[in-house]
A and B are shown apart, each in its own frame.
Chain A
Amino acid sequence: MNNDNRRYTFLFIVGTICVIYIVRLFALQVATSEWKNRGSRLTEREVIVYPSRGNIFDRNGKVLVTNQTVYDLMVLPKEVVAFDTLEFCKLVNLPYDELKEILKKSVTYPNVKYKPSPVIKQMLPEEYALFAERLYKFPGFFVQARTLRTYPENLGSLVLGDVGEVNKDILEKHPDYRKGDYIGLNGIEKSYEKELRGKRGIKYVYRDNLGVEHSVENGQLDSAAQEGVDLYSTLDAELQKYGEKLMQNKRGCIVAIEPSTGEILALVSAPTFDPNLLVGRARGQNFAALAKDPLKPLFNRATQAQYRPGSIFKLAQSLTALQLGAITKETRIACNRSIIGCHGPHSMDDLEMAIVHSCNPYFRGVLQRVVEANRDPNNRANDAAMGLAIWNEQIRKLGFGSNLGSDLPGMKKGNVPSPEYYNKKYGVGGWNFSTIYSIAIGEGELLINPVQMCNLACIIANRGFYVPPHTVRQIGRGGSARTEYVTRIDVGVKPDYFETVVNAMEKVVGPGGTANSIKLSDIVICGKTGTVQNEPREDHSVFVCFAPKENPKIALAVYVEYAGFGGTWAAPISSLMIEKFLKGGTTNTAREEQMMNAKILN
């Protein structure tokens, strides 16, 4: 038996394996550059140069939002050598156990030894200064400068917005963001993210075998970082701060707009909070606490709340009915309190006095004339549907049911009931005028957002147009607002019709009017109170106004939740805001104190 030939089998097996390996080597090294490219991507590091985010100023040049430099202390585990942990922990004020935990985490998935991980995020400059000169003692540790937002005026947290690190959702939707980037999440920070963000710069470097970094191809591939653009907002810091003070310990909101330009002067949502809480290391913790607060400070009542507007809506009803020819300013309607309640002594008002008295039966009658105009004499339900469609179209021109094209993110549109809406609710033919008449006085299914309320005041102040409310008047120093914020939008109501309404509003703030108490000797305020029922709780106190009557400079909507009669709370707060804006302050310190100190949080 001779097995000598088996040597060839043996060599054949060895040879085959060698050939297979050589072919595999060829495939990995020569046939494709895929693996090589992936190697380049690993060894040639992109160093991201973060631009600093644009500053935000108020309309008078006061800094509202700016940046502070903070330092992220990072660790590259593979370069760490044994170090004096005691000294390290003392320098950075970190308990030893935490350091141990962090270092362990830096080498466990998804972190790997060859990629830097954060040790301490967002060290303040003074914290870093202590550590900086000793940094050389701790190989493998280094710092990365970042900028954080800071709010020197401590106001307008919701209108200015906040920034946070991008999350997974954002990363999926916006591929130009990367993990660790900041993005505006709210307010101006969100709607002007593109301008504020700037452009990230990229520096390509590779490390040679001595660990020294060199730029790749003489930096020809690098791109410089572009700083974010500064924004000049429409806000008036003084007015905003004053509004926040007036609204302290209350729930509600103030919207103040310059009628001729649509510039938002103040946007207060109460209760508010210090915007600096949502910055830096404590952000997460503070955010959670605010989110849990039953008073919902994170909810922007000025833009996201949808309230029943109450009596102030009678202004819109008047304009609509006049324009549709359903009434004239002379039209008188009996105050028939058997169908709908009313208050105060009056019986047969004309339009002007009906507004002053806020006569509910009158406006029920006005809406009836708009809606039940005998367009379909045989079918009352269809008649109402046809009428409501016409009403709906006209009322929408006043900006209701839309976000007004505003730059306020998350603006709610409210609800202006349409025939389709009621068909859905009651079925086709299942409703008629008597089902829906409560919308005549701003109740029922009607939902209006406070910015829309203020915009109504602007339309009346402007006698027929509005500019979409916006928060930024200059993009970049000397720049202009976005083009959509310099165009007037006509609401399709004849200027004549406004005079009756304006005169009525003037009388509201006068003898016998519901807001008589706020009448000023030097400024003519035109306003309308509202008292929105909330059985069984206290009513919401509402007031919209503008001043002065001729050439108005400011329009306001004030909404104080569960506070009571409109003339008691919302109106005085409005007048104080007007005085602050037009005269720099009030002499009526008693009222000022009363408003500021009132606590309406029951």
Chain B
Amino acid sequence: MVATGKQNLQLDWGTIALYGTLVLFGWMTIYSAAYNPLLPSPFAFSEEYGKQLVWIGACIFLIVVILYLDAEVFNKLAVYIYLFFVLLLMLVLVIGKEVNGAKAWFGIGDFGIQPSEFSKIGVGLFLSKFISSSGLQLKNLRMRIQAFAIIGLPAFLILLQPDVGSLLTFLAFILVMYREGMSGNVLIAGFASVVIGTLSIVIGAGRTTYPYFGEMSSIWTFIISLFGLAILALIFVRNFVVPRSRRMLYSVTVISLILASTLAFSINYIVDNVLEKHHKERIYVMLSLPVEREDATYNSEMAKITVGSGGFFGRGFHQGPMTQNNYVPEQWTDFIFSAVAEEWGFVGSVAVILLFFALIYRLVALAERQRSQFSRVYGYCVAAILFMHLLINIGMVLGLAPIIGIPLPFFSYGGSSLMAFTILLFIMIRLDAERLSIFR
């Protein structure tokens, strides 16, 4: 279907207002955190706040372009957009610039472009197209595998960079697939994995002396406990469950036990032998386990101190002693939330979290009111990606997640992230604006 004309666009001004508020708040925070007293002008283009203004300008341009485009374009070109970004992800592995050990950037003069940020747009569009065009729901195994392949290809390329943070945000698409009919067991399994994984690392870091075996990692205690739980479950099933369900529950118990033990064992192996040392340290720091190098805790400690320094009402704009003295390294990028927390306090931090919640809530509402499945799935993609960033980034600042370098949407300094999120969001706004004229 073709758009009915620009005059009839029904833009969702609420979402746009939320976007504007977040971007403005974000820029102010960058201005405060990256402030250079020698160049106080917001238009100091050599400084982060000046550059970010340029990116905001670029975003306004992008918004206008998106709104002028025909909504049908996104549906039709979804595959090509996806392939284009996959190509970029391959290219960056070859000619990319290495920053902090990851080949994730195209360097253009002073500016860098991070294709992994943009690739989420491609995945979101293609996944929406795939799910909507199949006409089926995601109960079919073959379809699920295909959907995972769509997500997996760019994810794999990002892993090669390697950029674990960006990779994790791809988990957002699992939430989308859940909404579109994939079994809810995946969420339960995911939650259980996080719990078992965390417990395994915490318990596995200690050492226990076992009779006959001597001193070994305490992980065996945990695995033995899992076996004990499984036996209890089997006894329970045998005695309290009606016979026809028993068989299924027996196998569920045994399979869960095998999976859980494998996870418990392998995650420790991975943490000890596969992950790089600083990754292991970050996980240990988050879990308050002892680390060898004291400075491994530095970023996490400083972030928490900076957040705590804010108190209830905050120190005021430009007044945060931790922020103004740059105690948190590169605070204007991944740790920007700590600057919000210090200068605007509990009140401001909660406001930011509520703004994000409102935006996600609004996006879910937008998605649900779409007539086209394509638009709906895409809406959920945007909401879920925002949520994953929020979850990991703020969790990291608050010491609840390991230190994973991903940006806080609209806040963190950086053109790639800001433009990618703007495009992601405004495609949805554009799709929504024509919801009444699309009937698929």
Contacts and interface: CB of A to CB of B under 8 A. Distances in A.
B181 A43 contact: no
Interface stretch (B57-65, B162-170, B390-398, B403-411): B390-398
Given A25-B398, A43-B325, A114-B326, A17 B311 contact: no
A292 interface: no
A28 B308 contact: yes
Contacts of B326: 78, 114
A597 interface: no
A413 to B, nearest CB: 44
* Chain A interface, DSSP helix/strand/loop, else mixed: helix
B392 to A, nearest CB: 10
Contacts of A3: 137, 179-181
A129 interface: no
| 6 nearest CB pairs, A to B | A35-B308, A39-B309, A43-B321, A209-B324, A109-B295, A29-B346
B37 interface: yes
Contacts of A18: 353-354, 356-357
Contacts of B387: 13-14, 17
A25 B294 contact: no
B361 interface: yes
Contact of A22 (B181, B307, B350, B390): B350
Nearest to A210: B37
Interface in B160-194: 175, 178-181, 184, 187
Interface stretch (B78-86, B196-204, B229-237, B298-306): B298-306
A42 B308 CA distance: 13
Given A11-B361, A21-B395, A113-B329, A39 B346 contact: no
Interface of B: 35, 37, 137, 139, 175, 178-181, 184, 187, 293-295, 298, 304-312, 318-319, 321-322, 324-327, 329, 341, 345-346, 349-350, 353-354, 356-357, 360-361, 364, 367-368, 380, 383-384, 387, 390-391, 394-395, 398-400
Given A20-B400, A22-B353, 16 more contacts: A6-B179, A6-B184, A10-B178, A14-B361, A25-B350, A25-B353, A26-B346, A28-B341, A29-B307, A29-B311, A30-B312, A38-B305, A110-B295, A207-B325, A209-B37, A209-B319
A21 B175 CA distance: 20
B368 A7 contact: yes
Interface string A78-119: 100000000000000000000000000000011011100000
A21 B307 contact: no
Contact of B294 (A17, A110, A209): A110
**Max count, chain B CB within 10 A of own CB: residue among A17, A29, A43:** A29
A330 interface: no
Contacts of A35: 304-305, 307-309
Contacts of B304: 28, 35
Interface string A15-57: 1011011101110111011111011101100000000000000
Contacts of B298: 112
Contacts of B325: 43, 114, 207
Nearest to B395: A21
A218 interface: no
Nearest to B306: A39
A172 interface: no
**Max count, chain B CB within 10 A of own CB: residue among A18, A20, A28:** A28
Contact of B346 (A20, A25, A208): A25
A24 B398 contact: yes
**Max count, chain A CB within 10 A of own CB: residue among B137, B308, B361, B390:** B308
B391 A17 contact: yes
Nearest to B35: A209
**Max count, chain A CB within 10 A of own CB: residue among B187, B298, B311:** B311
Contacts of B306: 39
A1 interface: yes
Given A11-B364, A110-B294, A209-B35, A30 B346 contact: yes
A10 B308 CA distance: 30
A40 B356 CA distance: 31
A25 B310 CA distance: 10
A547 to B, nearest CB: 64
Contacts of B179: 3, 6-7, 10
A13 B172 CA distance: 12
B398 A21 contact: yes
Nearest to B394: A21
A25 B37 contact: no
Contact of A38 (B308, B324, B353): B308
**Max count, chain B CB within 10 A of own CB: residue among A26, A33, A36:** A36
B410 to A, nearest CB: 16
A20 B400 CA distance: 10
A17 B307 contact: no
Interface in A337-371: none
Contacts of A78: 326
A10 to B, nearest CB: 6
A139 B354 CA distance: 42
Contacts of B184: 6, 9
B400 A24 contact: yes
A217 interface: no
Nearest to B312: A30
Contact of A1 (B137, B357, B383, B395): B137
A572 to B, nearest CB: 63
A30 B311 contact: yes
Given A3-B137, A39-B306, A209-B318, A29 B349 contact: yes
Nearest to B295: A109
B349 A25 contact: yes
A169 interface: no
Contacts of B400: 20-21, 24
Interface string A158-202: 000000000000000000000000000000000000000000000
B127 to A, nearest CB: 16
Contacts of A30: 311-312, 346
A7 B293 CA distance: 44
Nearest to B350: A22
Interface in A385-409: none
A211 interface: yes
A25 B364 contact: no
**Max count, chain A CB within 10 A of own CB: residue among B187, B321, B326, B394:** B321
A10 B364 contact: yes
Contacts of A6: 178-179, 184
A182 to B, nearest CB: 26
A4 interface: yes
A212 to B, nearest CB: 9
Contacts of A211: 37
A456 B326 CA distance: 68
A206 interface: yes
B394 A42 contact: no
Contacts of A42: 305, 322, 327
Given A7-B364, A14-B360, A22-B353, A36 B327 contact: no
A28 B398 contact: yes
12 contacts: A3-B179, A7-B179, A10-B364, A10-B383, A13-B187, A14-B387, A25-B398, A29-B310, A29-B311, A40-B309, A110-B294, A114-B327
A437 to B, nearest CB: 61
Contacts of A28: 304, 307-308, 341, 398
A109 B281 CA distance: 15
Contacts of A20: 400
Given A10-B179, A207-B325, A39 B308 contact: yes
Contact of A4 (B175, B294, B368): B368
A208 B137 CA distance: 59
Contacts of B356: 18
A21 to B, nearest CB: 5
A155 B184 CA distance: 87
Contacts of B310: 29
